[in-house]
Structure 1
């Protein structure tokens, strides 16, 4: 009897719950479905948001639901939106819309489709980066490891390697050829080991280049740096100097000693041979060359403030330069020889004013470590920079004592001017 009583109570409670749930469902239907069931249109498929410069392009496909007549894109937390109409065909149709005037940064978008009755699809959500001035300010021209003239008259550029994520797309180069024709060429970027050859390059002239970047793999816009000038490392000696060796030419000659031929200028203090008639040149042979710049002070023939120099025949363009020369020397610690570059065509300074020069180097004086003789055979280089185009004078300054054994002696096989 007790069991039947509990069973009756349980059934009563269960029926009450069922009736209550049905009542709630009826209330929901009255409130939300009084006008019929909710209808959703087919959503856009294969949606992509492509990044750009303060804009994006949204693409997608309509593969179903022929009743779609438009779609709408929402962004900025639904505060902004735009829409485009759709004309459906029997096949797959494509959507494409560009949204401009967007702020730089990461943005979220929602895309919905609509039929003629205003029924919408569920939203499709996508995010994309928008690029602008901040990105533009962050990009720089691709680095150049080296740019040098080649023996065939071309210029060879060796590009610095770049990270694959950097987005370097190409390099645009403008350059003059040997006939003064300006070329504009576009070089597709490789990540590593890339070189570019510019044929028939005009010696002594710079080229200009800029670098294009793709900020994202699917970006619809590229960003470019400004054009930047770059010099080509070249031996420009013959453009600006003459009689630079090997086999220097002489103006006067006694069979061994002489004076260098023009455009070299030799001051009286440099003429330490033949009673002040010759000096600064010798016919001595070394390295297969005969005819070299030289001072020798054996026989008590000192050189005090001796100068041998020549001005460039044209102004050098602004830029960086290197002087290179091959020499052999026996210069004692009581003497010195400098190679000097000075501004203007009036010569090179004396030792007391050497700091006024554009650049200089001291040929070794005194014995190298571990040697009993100061003999030195090497190629020496030094650099200087011009902020503006100008003529410069290049030469040698000597102060060499004549007494003592051994005395002082040096020879120059050649001198070169390199534009960096």
Structure 2
């Protein structure tokens, strides 16, 4: 019994050895399996429909090439290697990749066809979808300064926004075009554009890196932005202190051109619309008065001037003092005349003086032009409810 068991065991061992010999003869005819040294420090960098795969060769001088596989090994690229005696760097660009997370497998090869164990890495690929979602960095304020420069105050951004820089195109007051690139900082960032041409706009775009390893920069579309500027001197004249065309030698007068005053406002024995108010020591004022000193009521009285303005957003502003009882309107209207009181709602825009007695204030309103056109700016009121008066010390036109 024991002898039969020993014989059976020996036969089993002989069969196993025979199978191992067959495996060795088939798969190890040239000796033991050889694995070339793998690529070290492998990294993948994001790009626009592409990626860059890099690594180091720190050992195994017998490596002759490496391959990068992606898309579940359906696609690959082969790169020859010329090894030196030191550490060699590998770098290859993988083109024509779809957007999204892409994984890569890297293997090295020697001249005998031996293959290394795999090394894997991955990168996010960016493209048209990412590009289409980019918007320009926000501008918190853009305004002409006293020295004639335009100061751009940028909205704060976070570190993960990827904002790299802003490219700004603008024209200076001598009509010279400028193309300026400014590096982005996260918070409290301002940019000064010297000698900015008042009334013009800036055009700008923003550069982005989608992540810190991106090999490509992405750009938003150019867009225009208004620069807030006092354009009074460009489009209006005699804006305060006001000058007169005629004067009674005491207080009242008529306004000098280009102001146009309706006859019913000239109700002080041939004078009206202008007053010196010398007791204020502040020069001439644009005024209307009714009731006091026997002056007649004013119905749809108007003081205005006409100009041509380019397309844009505007603010018309007055500094005033009022003792008016009836509504007084500051108005911008298309064309060469102001509407009557009943029609101010059809104007491009209007504001109303405060209704309280003895009030000093600044009144303003906004209006927008979609194209260059003729615009009339000024004041309209019906003063029929007793003694009343108002004066304006200055007017301003601001392009916003």
- TM-score, structure 1 normalization: 0.89
Structure 2 residue aligned with 1:89: 84
Structure 2 partner of 1:215: 210
- Inter-partner Cα distance in structure 2 for 1:57 and 1:263: 68
Matches for 1:392-407 after TM superposition, within 5 Å: 392-401=375-384, 403=386, 407=387
Question: Which of 324, 340, 347 is equivalent to 1:357?
Answer: 347
Q: Report whether the alignment pairs 1:415 with 2:384.
A: no
Q: Name the counterpart of 1:179.
A: 174
In the TM superposition, what is the alpha-carbon distance from 1:288 to its structure 2 partner?
4.4
| C-alpha contact 2:289 2:295 (8 A) present in aligned 1 | no
Distance 1:286 1:26, change over 3 A: farther
User: For residues 124 and 160 of structure 2, what CA distance do their matches in structure 1 show?
Assistant: 15
Once the 2 structures are TM-superposed, how far is the Cα of residue 285 of structure 1 from its aligned partner?
4.4
2:125 is equivalent to residue 130 of structure 1: yes
Matched, 1:336 2:316: no
Question: Quick one: distance in 2 between partners of 1:88 and 1:27?
Answer: 37
Q: Distance in 2 between matches of 1:269 and 1:93?
A: 93
Q: What's the counterpart of residue 242 of structure 2?
A: 248
The question of whether the paired residues in 2 share the 8 Å contact of 1:301 and 1:402 is answered with no
The 1:317/1:279 distance shift into structure 2, 3 A limit, reads same
What do residues 198-232 of structure 1 show as CA deviations (whole Å, max 9, x unaligned)?
Answer: 11111221111110001111111111112111121
Give 1:47 deviation, angstroms: 1.3
CA distance in 2, matches of 1:285, 1:133: 68
What is the match of residue 79 of structure 1?
Answer: 74
The count of aligned residue pairs is 395
1:321 to 297, 301, 314: 314
| Contact 1:303-1:402 within 8 A present in 2 as well | no
Relative distance call for 1:286 and 1:88 in structure 2 (3 A) is: farther
Q: Which moved more, 1:186-195 or 1:52-61?
A: 52-61
1:181-200 equivalence runs, <5 A? 181-200=176-195
Alpha-carbon distance in 2 for matches of 1:163, 1:126: 28
Aligned 8 A contact 2:289 2:388 in 1: yes
Deviations 1:255-292 (A, max 9, x none): 21111100101111222221xx2221111147641210
Question: Which one of 390, 400, 408 corresponds to residue 373 of structure 2?
Answer: 390
> Alignment partner for residue 376 of structure 1, among 334, 355, 359?
359
Corresponding position of 2:109: 114
Deviations 1:78-97 (A, max 9, x none): 10011111111111111111
Deviation at 1:391, TM superposition (A): 2.3
Match of 1:305 in 2: 300
**Whole-Å separation in 2 of the counterparts to 1:104 and 1:161:** 29
Task: Indicate the SS of the match to 2:186.
Answer: coil
Aligned-partner SS, 2:309: coil
Cα distance in 2 for residues equivalent to 1:232 and 1:191: 22
The TM-score with structure 2 as length reference comes to 0.93
Q: Distance in 2 between matches of 1:220 and 1:353?
A: 61
Q: Give distance in 2, aligned partners of 1:48 and 1:269.
A: 84
2:275 alignment partner in structure 1? 282
Q: 2:289 aligns with which of 285, 296, 309?
A: 296
Name the Cα RMSD after superposition: 2.3
The one-character-per-residue Cα deviations of 1:367-415 (angstroms, maximum 9, x if unpaired) are 3xxxxxx221111111111111222110000110163xxx111110111
Distance 1:38 1:295, change over 3 A: same
Q: Is the 8 A contact 1:295 1:410 kept in 2?
A: yes
Match of 1:167 among 154, 162, 170: 162
Partners in 2 of 1:181 and 1:34 — Cα distance? 79
Q: What is the alpha-carbon distance in structure 2 between the residues aligned to residue 271 and residue 35 of structure 1?
A: 117
Q: Which residue of 2 aligns with 1:105?
A: 100
- 1:227 is matched with which residue? 222
Question: What SS does the aligned partner of 1:293 have?
Answer: strand
Counterparts of 1:33-48 in structure 2 under 5 Å? 33-48=28-43
Change (3 A) 1:23 1:377: farther
Q: 1:172 and 1:317 mapped to 2: Cα distance?
A: 25
* C-alpha separation in 2, matches of 1:201 and 1:94: 50
